[in-house]
């Protein structure tokens, strides 16, 4: 059977830079930071007291107050992002075979806030006071289930959990389902809401977070020699992936093509990347091969770019291995995390939205806070200012704890 092509026909985003496509894109390309002091709880005793909190979120009219009480915030974000994506795609599920429409929206951590709240309930009030909704609020697959329930979608439905590669794996696996004829439409992406005492405290204990608390907007500085850790963030993004012929039949607007997907494992360490970069490089090569492209066909890489010492240096090595020295130096490599912070399991979806908009508008977002070059990160990181450029195809990298590597290849349509 001839492999089908998958295109992006709708997108929805909830992020520290906004909860609609236009403000998200204008702020991202404007080099604006969404990192601020944490307001959700008293973080004064934490080593890291800054985060990319979602501040413009309004679920009114999408999720009823009663239903909101029965969900963890990661589901709130994901459901709103899904609604925006469906609206953006102009979908009428009444005209679709809903058994051919699936959902694959993952979360790296899931219902962390409800877990923390219910643990406090147990210690303060006893076992009889647990909420009967605690388990369905916590489990990561619930978001995909809730989206399907909202629209009556009976197609493939589950969730991927691969730490910071979750959303990228979700989009890639959704691509495979369309390529192989298992679905005509997929809602795919990721959602995360880790900003609570438990989430911030856990990453602080790992010494993974930036402690540049006196300069929140300047704290996330991927590829800069002064980087000191990532900034935790929250949000969601959902993309509508659609079989090309199906999209054409219904007259859908097509943003771009999701043309390739690669996934590998470092098989090296629980949290540290393989310093050789070989696993991540192989993922990029697989994505390019899947898209039928060579390194000379790639103009931009949306890097994982976490602002940690190991990740940024290892990813630089991986890009050089995957593309070769010459193309690696030619390609524009930027990190959205310099402005958004790190959305963990949702990062790859939000960054995929950025990739698609880069292809549509011909503008590559910058890596802000780039002040001091690092010899170990010696690529064109689009420092501090967005760049107008023709972008034919771009890669989106996500590298998760456990050695999970995932790369998507988006191509201009």
Domain ranges of the chain: 6-249, 261-412
Q: Where are the alpha helices (DSSP H) in 97-165?
A: 112-125, 134-138, 142-151
pLDDT above 70: residue 120: yes
Q: How far is CA 354 from CA 12, 17, 22, 79, 94, in A?
A: 11, 12, 11, 20, 30
Which residue in the list 76, 169, 246, 304 is annotated as catalytic? 304
Phi, psi of 364 (to 5 degrees): -100, 120
Annotated catalytic residue within 164, 204, 355, 394 = 164
Q: Which residue has the tokens 């170990």?
A: 376
Q: Which of 169, 246, 300, 342 is catalytic?
A: 342
Q: Is 139 helix (H, G, I), strand (E, B) or coil?
A: coil
Q: What is the pLDDT of residues 143-200, one digit of tens each?
A: 999 999 999 999 999 999 999 999 999 999 999 999 999 999 999 999 999 999 999 9
**Tens-digit pLDDT profile for residues 250-308:** 999 999 999 999 999 999 999 888 889 999 999 999 999 999 999 999 999 999 999 99
> What pLDDT is stored for residue 86 in this prediction?
98
HSE of 90, CA atoms in CB hemisphere, 13 A: 10
Most distant CA pair in the chain: distance in Å? 64
Q: Record the pTM.
A: 0.97
Separation in Å, CA 56 to CA 34, 52, 351: 11, 12, 19
Homologous superfamily (CATH) of 261-412 is Thiolase/Chalcone synthase (3.40.47.10)
CA dist., res. 105 & res. 70, Å (int): 19
Per-residue pLDDT reduced to its tens digit, 78-116: 999 999 999 999 999 999 999 999 999 999 999 999 999
In angstroms, rounded to a whole number, what is the distance separating the alpha carbons of residues 328 and 296?
Answer: 9
- Give me the half-sphere count of Cα atoms (radius 13 Å) on the Cβ side of residue 76: 25
Model confidence pLDDT, tens digit, residues 72-87: 999 999 999 999 999 9
pLDDT at 67 over 80: yes
Q: CB-hemisphere CA count at 13 Å for 188?
A: 31
Q: Is the pLDDT of residue 1 over 90?
A: no
- pLDDT tens digits, one per residue of 367-404: 999 999 999 999 999 999 999 999 999 999 999 999 99
Kindly give the pairing relationship between strand 387-388 and strand 404-412.
unpaired
* Predicted confidence (pLDDT) at residue 411 exceeds the cutoff of 90: yes
What is the fold of 6-249? Peroxisomal Thiolase; Chain A, domain 1 (3.40.47)
The DSSP output letter for 2 is P
* Secondary-structure percent of the chain, ordered helix, strand, coil, rounded to 5: 40, 20, 40
| Contact by Cβ (8 Å): 211, 200 | no
CA angle 395–349–83, rounded 5-degree value:
140
- Is position 269 annotated as part of the catalytic site? no
304 is catalytic: yes
Strand runs labelled E in 64-130: 101-106
Spell out the long-range contacts of 53-61 with Cβ–Cβ below 8 A and sequence spacing 24 or more. 53/16, 53/195, 53/233, 53/234, 54/14, 54/15, 54/16, 54/19, 54/234, 54/235, 55/16, 56/18, 56/19, 56/23, 57/14, 57/19, 58/19
Mean pLDDT for 48-66 is: 96
Task: Give the residue among 281, 285, 299, 275 at the shortest CA–CA distance from 380.
Answer: 299
The residue behind tokens 């450029």 is 389
To the nearest whole percent, how much of the chain has pLDDT over 90? 98
Q: Is 246 left (phi over 0), alpha (psi -120 to 50) or beta?
A: alpha
First to last CA, the chain: 23
What the block records as the tokens of 42 is 């008293």
Domains 6-249 and 261-412 share a fold: yes
Tokens of 126: 């006893």
> CB neighbours of 258 closer than 8 A, spacing ≥ 6?
6, 7, 8, 171, 175, 241, 408, 409, 410
Q: Write out the H or E segment, with its range, that includes residue 179.
A: helix 166-179
Q: Length of the chain, please?
A: 413
């Amino acid at each position: 059977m001839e492999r089908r092509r998958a295109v992006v026909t709708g997108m929805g985003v909830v992020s520290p830079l906004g909860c609609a496509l236009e403000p998200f894109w204008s702020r991202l390309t404007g080099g604006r930071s969404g990192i601020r002091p944490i307001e959700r709880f008293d973080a004064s005793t934490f080593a890291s007291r800054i985060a990319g909190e979602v501040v413009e979120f309004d679920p009114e009219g999408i999720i009823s107050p009663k239903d909101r009480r029965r969900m963890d915030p990661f589901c709130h974000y994901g459901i709103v992002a899904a609604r925006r994506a469906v609206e953006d795609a102009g979908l009428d599920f009444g005209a679709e075979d809903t058994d051919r429409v699936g959902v694959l929206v993952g979360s790296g951590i899931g219902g962390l806030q409800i877990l923390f709240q219910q643990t406090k309930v147990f210690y303060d009030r006893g076992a009889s006071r647990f909420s009967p909704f605690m388990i369905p609020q916590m489990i990561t697959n619930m978001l995909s289930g809730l989206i399907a329930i909202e629209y009556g979608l009976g197609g493939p439905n589950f969730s991927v959990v691969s730490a910071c590669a979750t959303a990228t794996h979700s989009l890639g696996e959704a691509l495979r389902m369309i390529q192989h004829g298992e679905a005509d439409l997929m809602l795919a992406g990721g959602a995360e809401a880790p900003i609570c005492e438990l989430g911030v405290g856990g990453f602080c204990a790992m010494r993974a977070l930036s402690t540049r608390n006196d300069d929140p907007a300047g704290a996330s500085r991927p590829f800069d020699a002064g980087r000191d850790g990532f900034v935790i963030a929250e949000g969601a993004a959902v993309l509508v992936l659609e079989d090309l012929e199906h999209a054409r039949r219904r007259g859908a607007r097509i943003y771009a093509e999701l043309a390739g997907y690669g996934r590998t494992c470092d098989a090296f360490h629980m949290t540290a990347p393989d310093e050789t970069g070989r696993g991540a490089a192989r993922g990029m090569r697989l994505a390019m091969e899947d898209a039928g492209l060579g390194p000379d066909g790639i103009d931009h890489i949306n890097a994982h770019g976490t602002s940690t010492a190991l990740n940024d240096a290892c990813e630089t090595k991986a890009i050089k291995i995957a593309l070769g020295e010459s193309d690696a130096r030619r390609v524009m490599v930027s990190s959205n995390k310099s402005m958004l912070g790190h959305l963990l399991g949702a990062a790859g979806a939000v960054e995929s939205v950025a990739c698609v908009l880069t292809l549509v508008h011909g503008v590559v977002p910058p890596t802000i806070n780039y002040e001091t070059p690092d010899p170990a990160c010696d690529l064109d990181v689009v420092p501090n200012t967005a760049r107008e450029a023709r972008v034919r195809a771009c890669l989106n990298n996500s590298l998760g704890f456990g050695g999970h590597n995932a790369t998507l290849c988006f191509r201009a349509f």
